[in-house]
Structure 1
Amino acid sequence: MAQARTSGGDRTKVIAGIAVVAVLAVAVIGYVVFQQMKPSTSTADGIPLAPADHVISAPAVRDGNTVLVGKDTATVTVDVYEDFLCPICGTFEKTYGTDIKKAVEDGKVKVRYHILPMLNRLSKPEGYSTDSANAALCVADDGKFNAYHAALFAKQPEEGEAGYTKDQLIKLGKDVGVTSAGFEACVQNQTYKSQLDELMSKTSNDPVLKDPETGRFRGTPSVASGGKLIDLDNKNWLSDLTK
């Protein structure tokens, strides 16, 4: 009987082991299928253009290390601080992009975009934040910033994964209509890298943008106007500015 009990216990262990292996196999297969079905945001393919109705139709000019979008007659200027890799910035654009577009096109506000190289270490390889911010300034030199900005937020690379390559960023510039002979070199050589580094330093030390508890930059996205930080928990922040 003792021998029989031992034999039965061995069979139980074997059956349990087979069951565990089967469960693990199903899990692995499920993960592989999920990864194959998951849409890629950073492949060798080109970056898709954003829908036309997502693109602000207003002048956009590079102003040093920022880009100013809107009509000269607008009396309110909104400063938006973003990073093209920042997922919450993508959420901000999806949430408020339509309202911002309308306010700009109606001539109520101008938006000064501060595209920051903040999350460089969070792409693989590192550096996508600088590459994309620099490319956006290069595009702004040719007046095509709005479509470029919309496209990079419409389909963002995932934080912690590979960002778009310089070649992809160049192709997107051409797809939005950049024709400048120096554009490709501007992207490849990171023409505005030093200016972007200065922008990051200035932003990090701006008292308006610091968290009162930590004393550090609050991060992206941040929005300010008239020297005051905007509370983005207030969903009516933009309409409040234009009353």
Structure 2
Amino acid sequence: MQSTDVQVREMVHKRHRRRRTLMVSLVAASVVGGAALLGVGLVRAANTAPDKAPSKVPADVSGDKAGLLASEGAVRVDIYLDYLCPECRNTESELASELKTMKASGEVRVTYHPVAFLDDRSSPEGYSTRAASAAACAADQGEFIRYSAVLFDKQPPEGAPGLSEAQLVEVGRDAGVTGDSFEKCVRDGTYTPWVRYVSDVTASRKIALTPTVTVNGRRIEVTGSDPAASLARAVKEARE
């Protein structure tokens, strides 16, 4: 059996060939190797951000068009996630209550960045992109948070086909999102170019793992025993 480090290097090289990105350093690859065993998503690093965003972007897009703005507040919280990443599912669940409280109190400006780092971990490839595009369609209906939570609840295993377009539409019903415009958006893959843009911008920021959470640009630990406490502590420090 190949070692985890070798597998990680091969995946990084594959992304380098397909997306013209740069290989993450051996140190980062080693970290990723350990994290991958825990269901963390990876992985790529790019030299520079793409020149411009696609013309079609979802509602509530952030100022740089590389995320979805979920709340306004004094402290900036950025959440980078991949819908095929098991640890992202765990983090979403662990942080949900704390984030809801912080957003309601106006403490934080939360931006979600749905990326597609794990596209080649579904068969056929591409589920991360399709799921993120569908989540952006839900944002047009004002239901990104609810839809995202249901997507994680129904997360397929790595190596599987992932949810079909019909199932992604059905997930919308579970999240209270209905209507022909949502269904058409999902089936057409309307936001596929935008998901690629978000992924490339994220990579250009040297973020090669999901989940990644930053507070005012500083990464915090969210894969430990109490990610909500880590978030609360970081936000408190940022406010002081």
TM-score normalised by length of structure 1: 0.65
Task: Tell me by how many angstroms 1:180 deviates.
Answer: 4.7
- Structure 1 residues 182-232: Cα deviation after superposition (integer angstroms, max 9, x where no partner): 22221111111111111111111214x3xxxxxxx2x10001122222233
Amino acid at match of 2:232: S
Q: For the residues of structure 1 that align with 2:78 and 2:117, how far apart are their CA atoms?
A: 17
Corresponding position of 1:178: 177
Amino acid at match of 2:190: T
1:220 counterpart = 2:213: no
Shift in alpha-carbon separation, 1:193–1:65, aligned structure 2, 3 A: farther
Q: For the residues of structure 2 that align with 1:99 and 1:198, how far apart are their CA atoms?
A: 29
Query: Is the radius of gyration larger for structure 1 or structure 2?
Result: 1
Amino acid at match of 1:240: R
Q: For the residues of structure 2 that align with 1:114 and 1:124, how far apart are their CA atoms?
A: 23
Q: For the residues of structure 2 that align with 1:102 and 1:159, how far apart are their CA atoms?
A: 32
Report if the CA contact (8 A) 1:142-1:180 is conserved.
Answer: no
Choose 145-154 or 135-144, whichever is displaced more. Answer: 145-154
Amino acid at match of 2:97: T
Corresponding position of 1:80: 79
Amino acid at match of 1:230: I
Give the gaps of 5 or more residues in structure 1. Answer: 1-59, 210-216
Percent of pairs identical after alignment? 38
Shift in alpha-carbon separation, 1:179–1:65, aligned structure 2, 3 A: farther
Shift in alpha-carbon separation, 1:93–1:121, aligned structure 2, 3 A: same
Corresponding position of 2:163: 164
Report if the CA contact (8 A) 1:76-1:241 is conserved.
Answer: no
> What is the DSSP-based 3-state SS (H/G/I as helix, E as strand, rest coil) of the residue aligned with 1:117?
coil
Give the gaps of 5 or more residues in structure 2. Answer: 1-58
Report if the CA contact (8 A) 1:147-1:176 is conserved.
Answer: yes
Corresponding position of 2:14: none
RMSD over equivalenced CA pairs, Å: 2.0
Corresponding position of 2:190: 191
Shift in alpha-carbon separation, 1:109–1:142, aligned structure 2, 3 A: same
Q: For the residues of structure 2 that align with 1:126 and 1:76, how far apart are their CA atoms?
A: 37
Corresponding position of 1:69: 70
Task: Tell me by how many angstroms 1:143 deviates.
Answer: 0.1
Q: For the residues of structure 1 that align with 2:125 and 2:232, how far apart are their CA atoms?
A: 38
Aligned length: 173
Q: For the residues of structure 2 that align with 1:176 and 1:94, how far apart are their CA atoms?
A: 16
Q: For the residues of structure 2 that align with 1:177 and 1:127, how far apart are their CA atoms?
A: 25
Listed as ranges, the matches of 1:1-243 within 5 Å are 61-63=60-62, 64-70=65-71, 72=72, 74-207=73-206, 209=207, 217=208, 219-232=209-222, 233=224, 235=227, 236-243=229-236
> What is the DSSP-based 3-state SS (H/G/I as helix, E as strand, rest coil) of the residue aligned with 1:182?
helix
Q: For the residues of structure 2 that align with 1:147 and 1:77, how far apart are their CA atoms?
A: 21
TM-score normalised by length of structure 2: 0.66
Corresponding position of 1:5: none
Task: Tell me by how many angstroms 1:110 deviates.
Answer: 2.7
